[in-house]
Each structure stands twice: as C-alpha cells, then as structure tokens.
Amino acid sequence: MKVHEFLEHHGIAGNPFAEEDAQNDTVFKRTCLETTFHPAWDKIYGDPADPSTSIVFGEKGSGKTALKLQMVRQFERHNDAQPDGRTFVVLYDDFNPFLDRFVSRVGKGRPVEKSLAQWKLWDHMDAILTLAVTQLVTAVVEKSSKPPRLTRPQARDLALLAACYDQSTAESFPTRWRQLRRRVGYRVWLGSWPWLVALAATVAMAAALVAGGLRGDLGWASRWWPWAALAAAWLPYGWRRIRSGWKAWRIVRSMRTGNRTVGQLSSALAAMPEVDLAGQPLPAFTRSDDRYELLTKLQGVLAALGWNGMVVIVDRLDEPDLINGSGDRMRQVIWPMLDNKFLKVPGLGFKLLLPLELYRFIEREGEAFNQRARLDKQNLVPSLEWTGETLYDIASTRVKAASVGTPPATLAQLFDPAIDQRRLIDGLRSLRVPRQLFKFLYRLLVAHCHSHTDERPVYVISPERFESELALFRRDQDAFDRGLAPR
C-alpha cells in the first residue's frame, strides 16, 4: 500500500509531514505561518511600533526558525498597514561570512577556540551594520519612485555608512556608491577641489610647454620654480589621499568581519569634503563607542525614510562551519552580544533565537555576567516548550491545510476510532517539539502503509501500530538525547 493512496483516500494532497525544516516547508508557509503560534508568541514578538528585545532558548526542532519566519511576516504586515511607521527588519542568521573573515584575520593557523575568544561586541555591531546598511542602500538605490528626502547631514551619514559597510555583491562598490550619492542628492564636488586644482595646474603646464616649443622658447622650463608651482598645486590632493589612505587602513584593520579594501575606502573618503568628515565617528578602533554612534546615525536615516524602529533577528547560531554545533563555540560568539546597554538601545529590538544548550551555560555564570546581561529585562523564554494539545493542534492544522476535499480532513480520521483524542494528545506530548512530531507521523504513515498490500488496503491506523511505532520512536529519541545514535 502506498502512502499517497492512503492520503488521497482521506482527501489529502501530498504528505503534510514530509518537511522538517520550516525554511523549506511549503505547508507551513501556506497556512501555519499566520495561524499557528507558540503560546509565548506575544512575549517574543512584542509591539512592532516599539521594538523590544526577547531571548528564546529552544532545542533543535522546537520551532525557532518558524518563529523567525512568522515574525518577518508579521512585521511585513505591520509595515503595509503603517507605511509611515514601519519597522526595519534585519536577519542576522548567516554567520559564515563574518566568522570566516574574522578567523582569517585574527587566527590564521590557530585553533578555532583561541580565535573565537577574541570575538567582541563590536564585531557583532560591524556585522549588523553591514547587513542593515547593505539592505538599506539596496532599498534606496533600486527604488523606482522619487528619491528620498534627506537633509545634507543625513545624506552624508548614509554615504559614510555605505562607504564603510555596504557589501553588496550585485555590482562594484564605486558604481553603487556613486548611484547612492546621486539618489540622495549628496554632491561631493566641494571635496574635489584639490584634484581640480592639480588638474588645472597640470593642463596649464602642458599648454605652456606646447606653446614654448612652438616658439622655440623653453628656457624657463629648465628653472625650478615652474615645477615647484606644479608640485605645490598637487600637494593638497596628495595630502588628502595620504590622510584618507591612513584612515581607510585603520578602518579596514579594525573591522575584522568586513571585506572592504583599503583602496576602495580610501577613494570614497577622499571624495567626501573634509568639513563633512570632521568630528564624525569612524570604526577605526577596536571598541564599541564609535559603532554606537554609527548605529545612532543609521537609526536617524531610517527614521527620515519612514522606519521608526529596527529589529535584528538572530537565528541558526549552531550552523556555521566554524561552530558546527559546538556549545562552547556558540557561547564564545554570542556571549559578547548579551550586554544590557546594547540590547536596550532605544528604538532597536533584538530577537535572539538560541539553542537550548546555551541556557545551561547561563545557569553556571556568575554575578558579573548577570549584571552585564540583565537577562531579567530581556523577555527571556528559558525553553520553547510545546504541550501535547498544542502539538495536536499543529498536526491537525497541517492536515487541514493539505486537504482538498469538503469538509477538510482531520487528524483524528487517520486513526482507528479506538484511539481517542486524549490518547493522541498524550502520545504526542512525549515528542516535545514540532520537528519530532513531523518525523514520528511521517514514520507512522510509512510503517502503516508498508504493513498492508494494495489489494487489501486499510485506511485507518490501528492502536497497535500507533503504540509500537511510538515506543520505537521514543527509544530512538532517548538514544539520540544521550548521544548514542543518529536520529
């Protein structure tokens, strides 16, 4: 007997339990994304008009990525409903490029743990600014409507942020930076006067040489003063390039997660008028103070463009190649971010979706960590737990979502009437998380269909089959929890 025949008999198109990752789960995205929420949803999501921080710990498969997708969808709906009070959402869920660049700079040839021990808060801030600025510049440059209205200081701030942090791979940095300046009306011709003076002097000298050659009078060219005047004309431009190159070198050296080159950044800084750069914060030191100021500038630009708040969603911390599920390495990376000053920046909310094993490290931390992190202020969810009733509702919703008949199929009709709802709920409760729920129901459907032939199909799952498969699955689950077997 085939699984699809069993499901078609009940009016279900496709196996609603085949996918285990919310990122690729079409059933979840089609219906459950906006209908099935964790009981702690309100605490985690908060108020989109006033973003707040929440820290969630959950075991693998508990629905952290599903929470991320649901938050993104709800923020999109809020933005559609409030075009003048939108929330800017940044997904900080791919650590690979930042960690790879960091380790290549500070720990080439060293053990990974020693390299990650040098990961600091400002490295997180650089990574977040990179994601946010790249996303914002893309929105500004590619928008087809009229250019955004920014004051000159705001346009300068956006140009400065883009010079340091825009890391789009869609086109070259110089081209994209010029497009951004034109789009926001940030003209830098005042900053080009050293180059214009040098060019004018060079053209004048060339013209004088040509004219003198035609008259046969080049005696003056052998004297020192014409060449000294030409050198003096080039001096401001040379000094500007030297200063810009020095600043660019310091910035590139301190931004350990970035990929900007010294030449690219030097050219951008040299094009900006000195008066616009005077006193401006630059990420030229290994400290967080300048990054806080740059973050404030980013928030100011966002507010001018209609984003009144900003949310950073952190997910998939255990997946980067350099971490590979190691609890110690995850702790080294995420601990610097657990800073109350950072997590409580006004107008900025963090949604940290973290693996459950990290909570065990928190329980062992001392007073100094607790005073710095102040987790009691961060809407902490120690464990993303699911009740048997909630898991039953999730399974029922998925069956209904995959149904093509009228009325839609229910989860209960797949089972023999001897298995009542209470027994189903009690059995599903032991699975703990949605991913294990889907794995079990998928295995149960396969085992049931494989135990019957096409000639004598049985379209309900017997109590014996349910109990035996649940016992086997629990055994495998316990073995995996003890690290004894794959699951």
pLDDT in tens, 404-428: 888 899 999 999 999 999 999 999 9
d(CA 406, CA 160) in angstroms, rounded, equals 59
List the single range of 197-201, 257-261, 376-380 with lowest mean pLDDT.
197-201
- Percent of the chain residues topping a pLDDT of 90: 72
Q: What is the DSSP letter of 305?
A: T
d(CA 242, CA 270) in angstroms, rounded, equals 9
Structure tokens at 205: 């000298």
Across the range 282-300, mean pLDDT stands at 96
Q: What pLDDT does residue 352 have?
A: 98
> Tens digits of per-residue pLDDT, 350-365?
999 999 999 999 999 9
- Percent of the chain residues topping a pLDDT of 70: 97
Relative orientation angle of helices 421-429 and 388-402, to the nearest 10 degrees: 110
Is the Cβ–Cβ distance between 96 and 320 less than 8 Å? yes
d(CA 243, CA 246) in angstroms, rounded, equals 5
> Tens digits of per-residue pLDDT, 451-475?
999 999 999 999 999 999 999 999 9
Phi-psi region of 127 (alpha: psi -120 to 50; beta: other; left: phi over 0): alpha
Q: What pLDDT does residue 145 have?
A: 66
pLDDT band at 204; cut points 50, 70, 90: confident
Q: DSSP letters of 250-299?
A: HHHHH-TT----HHHHHHHHHHS-HHHHTT---S-SSSSHHHHHHHHHHH
Is the model's pLDDT at 436 over the cut of 90? yes
Which among 173, 105, 94 has a CA at the least distance from the CA of 131?
Answer: 94
Q: Which residue in this structure is represented by tokens 């952190």?
A: 314
What sign does the dihedral 218-223-225-230 (CA atoms) show?
A: positive
d(CA 471, CA 315) in angstroms, rounded, equals 32
Q: What pLDDT does residue 365 have?
A: 93
User: Which residues partner with 312 through β-bridges?
Assistant: 90, 350
Structure tokens at 15: 């196996």
- Helices vs. strands in the chain: H and E counts, helices first: 22, 5
> Tens digits of per-residue pLDDT, 144-184?
667 788 999 999 999 999 999 999 988 899 999 999 999 99
Which among 37, 457, 101, 441 has a CA at the least distance from the CA of 253?
Answer: 101
Q: What pLDDT does residue 195 have?
A: 64
What sign does the dihedral 10-14-20-25 (CA atoms) show?
A: negative
User: Which residues partner with 87 through β-bridges?
Assistant: 309
Across the range 98-125, mean pLDDT stands at 92
Which among 113, 275, 250, 251 has a CA at the least distance from the CA of 193?
Answer: 275
Is the Cβ–Cβ distance between 452 and 413 less than 8 Å? no
Q: What pLDDT does residue 191 have?
A: 58
Strand order in the sheet with 54-58: 86-92, 307-314, 348-355, 54-58, 380-381
pLDDT band at 251; cut points 50, 70, 90: very high
User: Which residues partner with 369 through β-bridges?
Assistant: none
Q: Provide the b/e sequence for 458-471 (b: ≥16 CB within 10 Å).
A: eebbeeebbeebbe
Q: Sort 130 into a burial class: Cβ within 10 Å, 0-12 / 13-18 / 19+.
A: buried
User: Which residues partner with 86 through β-bridges?
Assistant: 307
Q: What is the DSSP letter of 385?
A: -
Q: What pLDDT does residue 142 have?
A: 86
Complete domains list, the chain, with CATH: 3-10+386-481 (no CATH), 48-120+288-381 (3.40.50), 149-285 (no CATH)
Q: What pLDDT does residue 410 have?
A: 93
Across the range 291-311, mean pLDDT stands at 96
What mean pLDDT value characterizes the chain? 91
pTM of the model as a whole: 0.89
